Amino acid sequence: MGVLTYETEYASVIPPARLYNALVLDADNLIPKIAPQAVKTVEILEGDGGVGTIKKVSFGEGSEYSYVKHKVEGIDKDNFVYSYNLIEGDAISDKIEKISYEIKLVASGSGSIIKNISHYHTKGDVEIKEEHVKAGKERAHGLFKLIENHLVANPDAYN
């Protein structure tokens, strides 16, 4: 098994605490409301929402994928860190065992920096195509921008 690591950073005008509340703590409710074309539903299959919880995310009709399952690995509300593994679904090809994500929000001026680290755990010596990773990053960034725009348009939400 190989592990490929990718790091991305995005700047946001939203402070970390508010962004964490929307992006992490209430994402299961917020994203299907503001982006039903991306995420249709999120359901908890096992657990209470904390560490160890397994969630099934069903994608909207326009998506090339139908669903994925996430396992929550860490929630650190004080330091604005969230980690989870993508463990099942048609977004994981037969070449990938799992994808681990860690998101950390850091204060920057009056906004924040979103630091995202992705670890692709491959089966055997399989190579992951850069365009596959780039497409995933673009989808994640697009979803983040939808959340950020929602927070800008609704200044009293998630305070």
87 lies in a domain? Answer: yes
Q: Which residues form the domain of 16?
A: 2-153
158 lies in a domain? Answer: no
159 lies in a domain? Answer: no
8 lies in a domain? Answer: yes
Res 130 pLDDT > 80: no
108 lies in a domain? Answer: yes
- Tens of pLDDT, residue by residue over 49-68, are 999 999 999 998 878 889 99
Number of independent structural domains in the chain: 1
Res 37 pLDDT > 90: no
CA 33 to chain centre: 16
